[in-house]
């Protein structure tokens, strides 16, 4: 948190993330276009590790993720499975393309609480991963983009 009255450190846009139907195909397209190595995708953990909750209910949803470094920003590709998730929701309703902007934060519960209470931005999905946890916040009405919060224990 900065000294100002905002919620997030605005200097840390960590990721710009896209949902796609075929992560291998889109990864190859990025690699060809930018002249980089094709990133290897990684499957998110199973539910016993993620404890994922989507719109108030536990979900077994998993996704293939691939990351590409573009300076200080990472472009993330997400290919969700067919269990309910905010990834699958966007892909079904809006098609392939932009999904969210991610910020690294510390103090997940405080920040999600503040976003909900002060800004009326509800938490739509959350889960654990090795070394940290994430939350998606429905900031679409005011900010026109979905925000992901990332809290890493060793950051």
Q: Give residues in contact with a second copy (CB under 8 A).
A: 2, 4-8, 10-13, 16, 18, 20, 26, 29-30, 32-36, 68-73, 75, 94, 96-98, 101, 119, 139-140, 142-145
Residue closer to a second copy by CB (options 35, 56) is 35
Residue closer to a second copy by CB (options 25, 49) is 25
Give residue for tokens 């994922």: 52
Quick check: 44 and 50 in contact, CB under 8 A?
yes
44 contacts: CB under 8 Å, gap ≥ 6? 50, 62, 63, 64, 65, 127, 129
Q: Distances from the Cα of 44 to the Cαs of 54, 58, 81, 139, in angstroms?
A: 15, 15, 10, 24
Residue closer to a second copy by CB (options 34, 51) is 34
Write down the least CB distance from residue 124 to a second copy, Å. Answer: 16
Write down the least CB distance from residue 59 to a second copy, Å. Answer: 24
Residue closer to a second copy by CB (options 34, 49) is 34
Residue closer to a second copy by CB (options 18, 63) is 18
20 contacts: CB under 8 Å, gap ≥ 6? 26, 77, 78, 79, 91, 96
In degrees to the nearest 10, what's the CA dihedral of 79, 135, 154, 68? 30
Between CA 96 and CA 58 the distance in angstroms is 25
Write down the least CB distance from residue 30 to a second copy, Å. Answer: 6
Write down the least CB distance from residue 98 to a second copy, Å. Answer: 4
Write down the least CB distance from residue 110 to a second copy, Å. Answer: 15
């Amino acid at each position: 948190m900065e000294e100002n009255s905002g919620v997030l450190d605005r200097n840390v846009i960590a990721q710009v993330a896209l949902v796609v139907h075929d992560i291998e195909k889109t990864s190859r397209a990025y690699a060809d276009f930018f002249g980089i190595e094709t990133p290897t995708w990684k499957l998110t953990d199973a539910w016993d590790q993620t404890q994922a909750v989507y719109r108030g209910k536990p979900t077994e949803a998993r996704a293939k993720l691939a990351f590409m470094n573009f300076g200080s920003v990472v472009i993330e590709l997400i290919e969700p499975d067919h269990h309910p998730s905010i990834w699958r929701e966007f892909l079904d309703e809006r098609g392939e393309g932009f999904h969210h902007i991610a910020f690294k934060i510390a103090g997940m519960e405080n920040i999600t609480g503040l976003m909900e209470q002060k800004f009326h931005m509800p938490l739509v999905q959350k889960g654990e991963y090795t070394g940290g946890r994430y939350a998606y916040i429905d900031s679409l009405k005011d900010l026109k983009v979905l925000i992901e919060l990332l809290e890493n224990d060793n950051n």
